Structure 1
Amino acid sequence: MSGSPSSVGSEAFSVVALLVISLVVLLILRYYLPLRTTPAYLTVPIFFALGIPASIILLVPIDLASSSRDPDTGSRGIWLPDRVLLVSWRISYWLTFGLTWFILPILEEYADAGYRDPRGRLLYSLRANAQYQALIFGAGFLGMIYFFISYGASPTSLKGLVMALAYCWGLVLAIYLMGHGLVAIPRSLFRNASISGRLKRIQAKAAKVHEKMEDAIQAPEDLEAQVAELSHRKTGSANDFRDWIEELAEDSHLPESRPRTLTRRLSAPVINVPNVVTERYLADLSRQLDRARHSRARYLDEWDRILQASTDTQAILDSAASKRIEIGEVSPHSSVFDRFTILTPYTRYLYKYYLVPYMQIFFGVFFSLASFCIIWSEVIKSINPFFSIIAVTVAHHQESERGQIGFAGQVITSCWILYMCAAALTSLTEVKVWRGRALVRRNTHGESAMWYAMQVAKLSVPLSFNFMTFLLPEIYTKTVFFEFLGKYITLTRIGTWFDWLFPTFILIPVCATLFNLYGKVKNCVGFGGVIDDEDEENESGYGTGSWREGRDLIERELQGHSSLGRLGHGAADRRSHVPNNPNNRTAPTVSVPPAERQRALGQPSASRPGRDSQRPPAEPEDENFFEAFGHRVRNTFETVQTPNWLQNVGDGFKRPKWMGGDGDGASEPRQSESNITRWFGRQEGRVRL
């Protein structure tokens, strides 16, 4: 009788994989956080909140291969004993549960408290989480009544209640975010395959980011003005917090120390300092200052990225004539791969102009098929799980009744779960409903980093178990994961129906993203944006966040005419280190009308800029057939000359007062203006329909 197969090789592989995952998590932390200055109470929980979900992605394929293996011959893939898997699941799940529902929410508010002493920070965090935890326990209390009535009061029913409610809440959030991301990822690849379309979207985004950046720069200045006012008070209640106020003043940069934009020159800082300074007021002021500074760093970093992307994309478009792309001057913040390259200017042109767009189209098609497979499996599993496409890609070997999962199936399983998690996590950064939280390179706010880590930990377990339900019930019901978590989810009839039917609601966010229902709803309620390409009244697009305005803002920034002044890495610093600027070209070649340039630079003008009929149409290569046809028809009517016999028709007739005449004598028609355009209300160079 031969001995049982050994799992030493699988255990060694699992340990190495965990070390690799830990190294990747550390690199992610280093990319978004300054590790030397970030306190340990932030980095350690974030490390576990990111590392444990990644280990769950590793545990699921190992569990599937271990449960489907033949006990006598072992497994074709990586497998572990059931006891080791059970301990691993217990550690991963309960540590993730504690981080998600207790540790990270408390530390998140602790990092954003604003108080100086740890006791004040902790009390603020507990008060901020009291309402949230009360809602959670209220929902748990209602579920506990249902569980106890159905299955009696026992530790097993209480444990099942906690695990089922946490899974259901996480699945609701995961299905919505994943449905949005399954459409957004392939669509972004298809859109970026068009170089001119990519540049236009970058320029359209630039106008909005520039406006937010100006607001983000002004907000800290108003708060720092309050700190300056506090520092001038030497008596009264402010004297009790003299050290705190001096610490805030040392970290502040007063508005008078740097240039101000036209908007900031016209609006004086709002200073609201109470007569009695309290600890709570200083904590709120410190918290607002911290948030405002991180928001300023966020939009400055985003603006720099827009400048870099715009310059790179414009260089690719300009290379169509010369067939060459020069690297130019590289930014000091660039990676090693950007500093050193083996490509010649011609091969770089072939790579960026042809290969990259076709690769984006290929991956767009590939991820579109992957998204379709996931959506199909979500819908079909409640009807007939044998038609699940994902189940066919995972279980390859059919020697047994259930089929075995080998190493190739484990790799495919990890890729499926990784893509599902990536789709959900991508939506976290695209859907702007998270109180202004954002991930900034090397300067992420501690509260934002905690919040994103909490969402990663919250979504990993529901998505992993939801993936297992794509497989045949004969496979996933035998896993340790199902024995540990799944039997509590399906303990009640409501939990069973929820687990099987709710994932079909993924069609709602998928259709909403695919057909842009979000934009249509915003337009219906009056919050929609203006379609720049169809705006006939405001051709320049200024004030509407159009790509034309963004194009001019980028050009002025690269040429050194920005009105933001120097702030940290100022405009001149960013302009001198714009990467991939071929032949030291300072800006994309874009023609800007003088009137538009005058208004964009903040110079006063007597009226709105009109259309110059002598100016050639801008960017005819960006117009489609219908836009070009509409522009030519409009230009035909605007440039038509009124015949002499028609100009003298109105002579001798009196115009009533309601038509603009004086009623006394002959009218005084303006011969310099076309009567046809005057019918449409043309005034001061405008045509108003």
Structure 2
Amino acid sequence: MAVGPLVSEVCFTFVLAAVLLHRYGNFSQHPLLVTVSVFVAWYFSFTIIFILPLDVSTTAYRQCLYDALDSSPVTNSTVASNSSPPLHAVCVRPWSFVPEGVLQSLWRVVYWTSQALTWLILPLMQSYSTAGEFTVAGKLRRALIENAIYYGSYLLIFGVLLVYLALQPGMNLDAAKLKVVCVSASNTWGLFLLVLLLGHGLVEVPRSLWHRAQPGHALCHTYFRAAKLSLERAEAQERLDDLLQEIQQVSSSLSSAHLQHHMDVILAKLPEGSKVGGRQRINSEMDVLSGSAVTERSLVRLHQQVIRALQHYNRTNCQWRLLVEQALHLEDVARNAEAGERRLRSPTLLASWCGPTVEWYWLCRVRGHCLRALAVLLGLWSAAVVWSEMTFFIRSPMVSLFGLFHRAAERRHDYLAIEVMSIVTLGYLCVCAYYTVFRVRVLNYYYLAPHHLTDAYSLVFAGMLLCRLTPPLCLNFLGLLHLDTHVSSEAHRIETAYTEIMGHLDLIPIVARGFNLYFPTLICVLCLATWWHLGSRLLHCLGFEQFLTDDELTGDLVNEGRDLIKRERGRRQRAADQRRRPPRQPPADELGALTRSGSEESARTELLRGVEPLAGYTAPRATEHAFSSPPRGLFDDV
């Protein structure tokens, strides 16, 4: 059994998920249940993306065997077990061939586990991570209560759908049909969300790379983000300060040891400086709560508010540090590009590998052209995706570009090209979809920050999004290749193991009518709206400031951000100078036997002893009036 490539892919995705979770998560601070759930969600989602190309190439080989038989349709097992010399002489076996039944078992485990995670477990973990209870059982109970409305709404929709299907003539619902209904409902939700995300990402990803190649535009955009983030950071700090005042009130009125233990749990979550202030700085003018007013329920509420405020505070501070580093780097590159010296005055890590001169040429001369070339390449790739999305419902003649490429490679038995095209296209679709979620300002509450700075809530959201969008995204990709028999309606096509287990690109009957018309239309309309910044202008009119080059408010925010970065650079420069400056020691020849005493008065006395008396100066007598004339001759030497 040639399962070596499959095992290698599974191990690679395991390591990739572990490395990414280690980079973005924090094992020591996040709950164990949350960490395990997020890891499984990320691992299974990556498994679908990396294993699906093997399924596509294996299906191409089985299709070749089927066509070589030139007979009536046979089962997959018959095709896979046929090993006659003429067939194998015509059909070259791919290096990554997976035996029959292996992928079906893998997809069955991955798909249903992912569905359980995205619809049941991860929403519970998301509420669990922000629950204010002080025990595991209490957190789980709170998560169930908060998700009751969430689950109830889905059960209501599912019940209405079942009633609608039951009233259809000739419809007999059984376990198999209920399974198809559940899969179709999940695919329907995922596809409509996918339309919104891809319509924005397919245009914005290439355009963002093009703008990054322009240092002036990238720097102004960074200034704009700095001004907005500074306001959000101040609001997060103000919210945390308000909670600290409330904690000071509550902590000063606790009398029960049980409640004091809960308060210690809350104080342990605060930053180090805040904990000291919370225990020592008590405002005397505050109305101190009575001991009977503080209950366990009020501490639970306070604990939940602290958790959410700290998540907001830590996220904004993390974003601020990364944004300041980016702005300072862009300023250094812009300043060094205009200088005559062919080396950066503020070298980066790249200089230690290839030298400062090579680094200067890369950042100031080569990098911009590479980004523009990549932006053009991705723009063409996006155009191919949009064209294929608009035409993959056309069965004959086939005009989908990815379908044409797949059929040409299939005829040449070029399985490596099929796998490379599949993994590159799937990866690009994932980047475009997830870029929209984590870059749009309205959804900026979720943020993946490196260096172990991502909060548990954002990690769970990322895992839930991966599990929810990856299956319909892969089904959409198979539709682009015309490998979904429910889309292509080709009876002689061999079905992939993925569609055998995870279903087809089917929708619930309520929205299935006319889907092949409004689905590509929505993709095209959203791409055009993103190209003309219609969404950004609408958000700007609603009060969400967006980066618009022809807007006066944008210019004001850019100037404000420039001033903020300038002050941050000055602060860092002063701190660096202070660290480099050696400790100051008084010269021995000037101060003589002066020694620094323990008190300020003794040091002043020692200094006055070393001062020579002024010539011609006599101290005024104690009996003189305070407004008498000053001593004569005091300023004669001036």
Structures share fold, TM-score greater than 0.5: yes
Q: 1:344 aligns to what?
A: 355
After TM superposition, give the deviation of residue 489 of structure 1 in Å.
2.5
Does structure 1 retain, via aligned residues, the 8 Å contact 2:53–2:419?
Answer: yes
Within-5 A mapping of 1:310-389: 310-319=327-336, 320-326=338-344, 328=346, 338=349, 341-384=352-395, 386-389=398-401
| Closer/same/farther in 2, CA of residues 395 and 36 from structure 1, 3 Å limit | farther
Aligned to 1:396: 408
Q: Which has the higher contact order (CA 8 A, sep 6+)?
A: 2
**Structure 2 Cα separation of the partners of residues 136 and 270 of structure 1:** 46
Aligned positions, number: 533
Point out the more displaced range, 297-306 or 272-281: 272-281
| Alignment match, 2:243 | 223
In the other structure, the counterpart of 1:445 is 455
CA shift, 1:205, in A, is 1.4
Quote the offset at 1:232 in angstroms: 0.6
Return the letter of the residue paired with 2:339.
A
The verdict on how the C-alpha distance between 1:166 and 1:188 changes in structure 2, with shifts beyond 3 A counting, is: same
Give, in whole Å, the separation in 2 of the partners of 1:194 and 1:367: 17
Q: Percent identity among equivalent residues?
A: 23
**Counterpart code for 1:438:** Y
For the pair 1:549 / 2:560, whether they are aligned, the reply is yes
Using the TM superposition, give the Cα deviation of residue 303 of structure 1 relative to its aligned residue in structure 2, in angstroms. 1.5
Q: Secondary structure at the match of 1:342?
A: helix
1:527 and 1:493 map into 2 onto residues whose CA distance is 35
How far apart, in 2, do the equivalents of 1:66 and 1:421 lie? 23
Counterpart-to-counterpart distance in 2, 1:272 and 1:405: 76
Q: Per-residue displacement from partner, 1:115-137 (whole Å, max 9, x unpaired)?
A: 11112111110011111111111
Per the TM alignment, residue 432 of structure 1 is displaced from its structure 2 partner at its CA by 3.2
Q: Distance in 2 between matches of 1:201 and 1:392?
A: 40
Q: Does 1:123 align with 2:170?
A: no
1:289 maps to a residue whose letter is V
More helix by share: 2
Kept in 1, the 8 Å contact 2:249–2:286? The answer is no
Distance 2:295 2:577 in 1: 44
Which whole-Å CA distance do the structure 1 matches of 2:145 and 2:112 have between them?
Answer: 25
Distance 1:352 1:52 in 2: 38
Partners in 2 of 1:270 and 1:324 — Cα distance? 65
1:289 offset after TM fit, Å?
Answer: 1.1
2:24 matched residue in structure 1: 32
Report if the CA contact (8 A) 2:56-2:418 is conserved.
no
What is residue 425 of structure 2 aligned with on the other side? 416
Residue 30 of structure 2: SS of its match in structure 1?
coil
Per-residue CA distance 1:255-296 (angstroms, 9 max, x = gap): 6968xxxxxxxxx99999997223332222112212222222
Taking only aligned residues, the RMSD between alpha carbons, in angstroms, comes to 3.1
Are 2:351 and 2:359, in contact at CA under 8 Å, matched by a contact in 1? no
Q: Which residue of 1 aligns with 2:528?
A: 511
User: Equivalents in 2 of 1:350, 1:329: separation in Å?
Assistant: 12
Q: How far apart, CA to CA, are the structure 2 residues paired with 1:365 and 1:271?
A: 64
The one-letter code sitting in structure 1 at the alignment partner of 2:343 is I
> Is the 2:180–2:503 Cα contact (8 Å) retained in structure 1?
no
1:64/1:476 contact within 8 Å kept: no
Q: How does 1:143-542 map to 2 (within 5 A)?
A: 143-150=161-168, 151-235=171-255, 241-252=259-270, 253=272, 276-319=293-336, 320-326=338-344, 328=346, 338=349, 341-384=352-395, 386-397=398-409, 399=411, 406-434=415-443, 436-441=445-450, 442-472=452-482, 473=488, 474=490, 478-487=495-504, 489=506, 495=512, 497-498=514-515, 501-525=518-542, 535=552
Q: Which amino acid aligns with 2:11?
A: L
Q: Structure 2: 5+ residue runs without aligned partners?
A: 66-86, 278-284, 483-487, 580-638
- Aligned partners of 2:479 and 2:505 also within 8 Å: no
| Kept after mapping to 1: 8 A contact 2:41/2:114 | yes
Check 1:322–1:271 CA distance in 2 against 1; reply closer, same or farther (3 A cut): farther
SS at match of 2:353: coil
Q: Report which stretch shifted further, 286-295 or 371-380.
A: 286-295
Tell me the TM-score normalized by structure 2: 0.77
Structure 1 residues 324, 534: CA separation in 2 closer, same or farther (over 3 Å shift)?
same
Shift of 1:504: 3.7
Instruction: State the shift of 1:359 in Å.
Output: 0.5
Cα deviations by residue, 1:23-73 (Å, 9 ceiling, x for unpaired): 111111111112244332122111111111111112322222222213432
Candidates 1, 8, 11, aligned match of 1:16 = 8
CA distance in 2, matches of 1:125, 1:306: 34
Structure 1 range deviating more: 153-162 or 472-481: 472-481
Say if 2:198 and 2:429, in contact at 8 Å, map to a contact too: yes
> What is the distance in 2 between the residues matched to 1:145 and 1:271?
58
Which residue in 2 is equivalent to 1:84?
102
Query: Tell me, what secondary structure is at the counterpart of 1:433?
Result: helix
**TM-score, normalisation: structure 1:** 0.71
- Tell me the CA shift for residue 382 of structure 1: 2.4
Q: 2:124 and 2:251 mapped to 1: Cα distance?
A: 32
Q: Deviations over 1:654-682 (max 9, x none)?
A: xxxxxxxxxxxxxxxxxxxxxxxxxxxxx
Deviates more, 1:153-162 or 1:525-534: 525-534
Paired residues of 2:24 and 2:449 also in contact (CA < 8 A): yes
Deviation at 1:485, TM superposition (A): 3.3
Shift of 1:350: 1.1
Q: CA deviation at 1:324?
A: 2.8
> What's the CA shift for 1:576?
8.5
- Give the distance between the partners of 1:456 and 1:530, measured in 2 at CA: 28
Q: Deviations over 1:399-442 (max 9, x none)?
A: 4xxx8561211111111111101111111111233472222231
8 Å CA contact 2:132, 2:303 repeated in 1: yes
Change (3 A) 1:273 1:459: farther
